A and B are shown apart, each in its own frame.
Chain A
Amino acid sequence: MKSDSTIKSLDPRITRADIPKDENLSINITPLDQWQTYEVFHQAKKGDHHIHVGSLHAPNPEMAFLSAKEQYARRGKCVNIWVVKTADIFTTDFEDEDMYETNNEKMYREAGGYKVMERINKYKKEHKKNPEEAKQ
């Protein structure tokens, strides 16, 4: 028999845990002082860019890999993972954001070429679908 002084829950695991029912229970939450965050990047297939997928807590890179696999690679296919200590990433301040603004007259510097690449890929894709048509 469980006494009345423990928490009863629909979840049998909670009831089994015999957690004392205490209205004045206070839990001290102190910030973690040992674990840091890691940023996770994954690569969908060989040759692709690694893409940032999120961050996680870990005490070292080995443990970061363990968590990264289940956090970020369990749903979609992935061939490779990078983990990087968040503290090792150098970043600019958002207040310097204006530095990156491009003036209209410098359009010639923009990577317009990528749009051509899209058209080439579209052409290739269409002709792959209809090889017979392509031969004619």
Chain B
Amino acid sequence: MSDNTQAIKNLLFRMADDDLIIGHRNSEWTGLGPILEEDIAFSSMAQDKLGHAQALYNILHSLGEADADTLAFTRNEKNFYCCHFVEYPIRDYDFSLMRHFLFDTADAIRFDMLTNSSCQPLANLAKKVRGEIKYHTMHANIWISQLGKATDESNIRMQAALNECYPLALGIFEKSDYESVLIDSGVFDGEELLQKVWTDIVSEIIEKSNLKMPDINEANLSTLAFGGRKGYHTEFLQPLLDEMTEVYSIDPAAEW
């Protein structure tokens, strides 16, 4: 086994936990979405995210970790490596849509970068999920543009959601201790490059949608946005985990 296995595992945990938690969060809209068609689309994308999480946990399993269900349902908060951004409650649809836009744009770029990864199973997965994620970003982009340009009320609400989400979204790019190993061994080109590409794409779509990029001071963000990659989480993660694992905790062998 090569030296970078720990680094690869860390990257996989960060990605899988992000997908699992945002997938669970977004699934909270199922049955409560703003209109039937959108309810189905948003739920279906949430399900895709759980699928991506499962595929990433499966790679971890092949590297010697427990199986996907055990990883998803039995770890405590301290051993989760998702960013804070995905943990926040769904709030109103403007917040959920804006988070979907900012997160999925990063997710799409990350998987795109990973299609050339030296970690073959990860590169294969990245190629496989590309089509699904293409729809996720298309969905996000169209909604942001629609609501950014529709009425004064929708524009103001989307701007407020952006102002709130944007600083939190920067937590996606929080580096782990393995950053240089991942870059040097050709596994992943790094959070810095990812953030740079993300900022360009996000600003372009935001400006086209009659919204303004928030002016933020990254120094003030420390605890709000960062810490997730090291196992420090918001107050919202543990209740989510309790709810998500309720059935599993009662009967781990339950099938449905």
Contacts and interface: CB of A to CB of B under 8 A. Distances in A.
Interface of A: 12-13, 56-59, 62-63, 66-67, 69-71, 74
In which size bucket is the chain B interface? 10 to 19
A12 B38 contact: no
B28 interface: yes
Contact of A70 (B28, B35, B40, B142): B40
A61 to B, nearest CB: 11
B102 to A, nearest CB: 18
Nearest to A16: B89
A132 to B, nearest CB: 37
Contacts, number: 33
Interface string B37-50: 11011001100000
Given A59-B146, A63-B142, A70-B45, 15 more contacts: A13-B32, A57-B36, A62-B142, A62-B146, A63-B146, A66-B138, A66-B142, A66-B143, A67-B38, A67-B41, A69-B135, A70-B40, A70-B41, A71-B40, A71-B41
B139 interface: yes
Nearest to B246: A12
B40 A66 contact: no
Contacts of A70: 37, 40-41, 44-45
Secondary structure call for the B interface: helix
Contacts of B69: none
Contacts of B32: 13
A71 B243 contact: no
B135 A67 contact: no
A12 B243 contact: yes
A66 B41 contact: yes
Which 7 pairs, one residue from A and one from B, show the smallest C-beta to C-beta distance? Answer: A67-B37, A70-B41, A70-B44, A56-B37, A70-B40, A13-B28, A66-B139
Nearest to A11: B31
Contacts of B45: 70
Contacts of A62: 142, 146
A7 B87 CA distance: 25
Given A63-B142, A66-B142, A74-B44, A58 B37 contact: yes
Contact of A71 (B28, B37, B135, B143): B37
Contacts of A12: 243
Interface in B62-106: none
Max chain A CB contacts within 10 Å: which of B35, B37, B41? B37
Contacts of A66: 41, 138-139, 142-143
A57 B39 CA distance: 12
A66 B144 CA distance: 13
Contact of A57 (B28, B35, B41): B35
Nearest to B138: A66
A56 B39 CA distance: 13
A57 B139 CA distance: 16
A21 to B, nearest CB: 18
Interface string B17-56: 0000000000010001001111011001100000000000
Interface string B95-137: 0000000000000000000000000000000000000000100
Contacts of B135: 69
